[in-house]
Amino acid sequence: MRVAGVGGALRALLEERARDDVLVVAAGTGVPGAFLDLQGSDWEAGVAAIEAAFFAAQGFARERVEAGSGGRIIFLSSPAAVLPVGGMTLASVAGSFLTTVARVAAVELAPTGITVNVVVPGFLAGEADERLIPGIPSGRLGEPEEIAEVCSFLASPAAAYVTGAVLVVDGGFSITKSAGGSPFLGSGLAFEQRCSQNKT
Amino acid sequence: MRLAGKVALVTGAARERGIGRGIVLALAEEGCDVAINDVAAEGEGAELAELVRGLGRRSLFLPADVSERGGVDALLERVLADFGALDIVCSNAGVAAWQPFLEVTAEEWRRQFGVNLTGCFNVCQAAARVFVAAGRGGRIVVTSSVHAEMPFPEMAVYGATKGGVRALVESMAGELTGHGITVNHIGPGWVQTHINESALQTDEDVGQTLALIPAGRSGEPHELGRAVVYLCSTDADYVSGAYLRVDGGFIAGKY
């Protein structure tokens, strides 16, 4: 698959799946931190990543329309776009922005045979803080392979009728509030205290 | 009067046929002093300030471009200097354009993102810092749109900025409500303002649009203003991170 704005182990897994008619695109998670403390430069960097993702998708869509044989665009969002997560304002804004773009593009591009969907990867092993685990109903971080498999499904003929959808792959994290807070707001002690309070 | 003694700033509020004007007048009718901001429309802004003063409230027109942080910081300083306090901030400034996804230009993307999202971030963060420093709580209300929850063709960027506003409001609410600052957004449906002028150019356009609205008519700016009054009043002390759709049933039905 073609990939834009995706990093880490997931990028390699997606690139291994060779498909020129599929683009997986992300805008990153932005600089973590409290809303009140976000600097103008942090915001601008986040905006630049969102803009790059938008135009990567647009450019790819134009190519596929020109080719006349359909295609697949998959935007990667964030659990913070489904349910606000403290200290993840930029991830939340980026994910929500691109989710709406995906849904509008899905409607506009459907007649061309291009589907546009959103995958929400949860917190992944090798990247995310393990202190989040008590807040994840599945009791573990996700594996990048699990995200790549969902992308493969959306790219497959079996998903030809899926467009404008948002597939959340996060072990149940964003369904409800359970334990925990956010490691990005510091005070891991407060996080752990809340975890133990919820266990009693 | 539900907002007697309060001071509010409303951005994007000068235009004669705008939701911002509806918000300004509704706040003023409930006893609020109002600072009116817009990037242009100085004549209309001055006239609106005069109207508000005629209601017995203090009011000034203060121009600034919300997409520029320096200007926003100076705007907040001016409000504090001229009014002595700030209790309510309505981030209302917004622009829209109808462009198919494949034809969106970088220029148009940046214009809409700059005002609708960066502008919202600039105004709300600057206001939140003022409120936290003053230690008296506050009210932030953002004008989003029905686009925040339902996308429409040819409005990928506008709709996405409103989806982003939803995320920003919920993020802010999670962090600021503990400081006594509630943060909410309102979702206008079809309101006959200048922002829609390019889309509704014929009676047929208007008729087709109104046929989609269960209420059978477009909304009035003043109705959005009344929703803002509610969210700024003590009746809404426990409302934060919420979205109040004011659309005559547009999203709920009918097909």
Mean pLDDT rounded to a whole number for chain A:
88
pTM for the predicted model, two decimal places? 0.92
**CA-CA distance, B190 to B34, in Å (whole number)?**
25
Tell me which residue of B56, B48, B53 sits closest to B24, measured CA to CA: B48
For A90, name the nearest residue in chain B, comparing CA atoms only.
Answer: B168
Count of CA atoms in the C-beta half-sphere (13 A) of B20: 30
Based on the number of CB atoms within 10 Å of its own CB, is B237 exposed (0-12), middle (13-18) or buried (19 or more)?
Answer: exposed
Q: Which residues contact B204 (CB under 8 A, 6 or more apart)?
A: none
The pLDDT of A38-54, averaged and rounded, is: 96
Q: What does each C-alpha distance from A198 to A131, A153, A174, B142 come to in angstroms? A: 14, 36, 17, 34
| Residue B204, both tokens | 């047929």
What confidence category does residue B83 fall into, taking pLDDT thresholds of 50, 70 and 90? Answer: very high
Chain centroid to CA A28:
8
SS3 category, B249: coil
Statement: residue B91 has pLDDT above 50 = yes
Residue with tokens 């995200």: A147
Dihedral of CA atoms A37, B238, B229, B147 in degrees, nearest 10, equals: 70
Contact B37, B66 (CB under 8 A): yes
B104 neighbourhood in chain A, CB within 8 Å: 54, 58
Beta bridge partners of residue B88, listed in sequence order = B8, B139
**CA-CA distance, A16 to A23, in Å (whole number)?**
13
Structure confidence at residue B71 (pLDDT): 97
The pLDDT of B198-215, averaged and rounded, is: 80
Statement: residue A185 has pLDDT above 70 = no
In angstroms, the separation between the Cα of residue B90 and the nearest Cα of chain A is 18
Beta bridge partners of residue B61, listed in sequence order = B36
What whole-number percentage of chain A has pLDDT above 70? 88
User: Which B positions 132-191 lie with beta carbon below 8 A of chain A?
Assistant: 132, 147, 151-157, 159-164, 166-168, 170-176
What confidence category does residue A129 fall into, taking pLDDT thresholds of 50, 70 and 90? Answer: confident
Task: Report the residue count for chain B.
Answer: 255
**CA-CA distance, A61 to A57, in Å (whole number)?**
6
The pLDDT of B85-109, averaged and rounded, is: 97
A62 neighbourhood in chain B, CB within 8 Å: 102
What's at A56, amino acid-wise?
A: A
Q: Which residues contact B188 (CB under 8 A, 6 or more apart)?
A: B19, B143, B145, B146, B219, B224, B246, B247
Contact B34, B83 (CB under 8 A): no
Contact of A81 with chain B, judged by CB distance below 8 Å, is answered with yes
Structure confidence at residue B205 (pLDDT): 77
Contact of A108 with chain B, judged by CB distance below 8 Å, is answered with yes
Q: What's B42's DSSP letter?
A: H
Structure confidence at residue A182 (pLDDT): 57
Count of CA atoms in the C-beta half-sphere (13 A) of B206: 10
A58 neighbourhood in chain B, CB within 8 Å: 101-102, 104
pLDDT tens string B99-151: 999 999 999 999 999 999 999 999 999 999 999 999 999 999 999 999 998 98
Q: What does each C-alpha distance from B208 to A32, A149, B175, B211, B248 come to in angstroms? A: 45, 44, 42, 5, 15
The pLDDT of A113-118, averaged and rounded, is: 98
CB contact under 8 A, A38 and B125: yes
Contact A10, A148 (CB under 8 A): yes
> Is the ipTM of this structure higher than 0.95?
no
What confidence category does residue A194 fall into, taking pLDDT thresholds of 50, 70 and 90? Answer: very low
Contact B128, A35 (CB under 8 A): yes
**CA-CA distance, B204 to A33, in Å (whole number)?**
49
Statement: residue A183 has pLDDT above 60 = no
Q: Which residues contact B34 (CB under 8 A, 6 or more apart)?
A: B7, B8, B9, B10, B24, B27, B28, B52, B57, B58, B59
The shares of helix, strand and coil residues in chain A, as percent rounded to the nearest 5, are 55, 15, 30
Phi, psi (deg, nearest 5) at residue B164? -65, -35
What confidence category does residue A188 fall into, taking pLDDT thresholds of 50, 70 and 90? Answer: very low
pLDDT tens string B62-81: 999 999 999 999 999 999 99
| Residue B54, both tokens | 């005629």
Mutate to test the interface with A, among B113, B175, B184 (most CBs of A within 10 A): B175
Top pLDDT among B206 and B47 is at B47
Structure confidence at residue B234 (pLDDT): 97
How would you write B120-169 as a 3-class SS string? HHHHHHHHHHHHHHHCCCEEEEEECCHHHCCCCCCEHHHHHHHHHHHHHH
Mean pLDDT rounded to a whole number for chain B:
95
The pLDDT of A114-125, averaged and rounded, is: 96
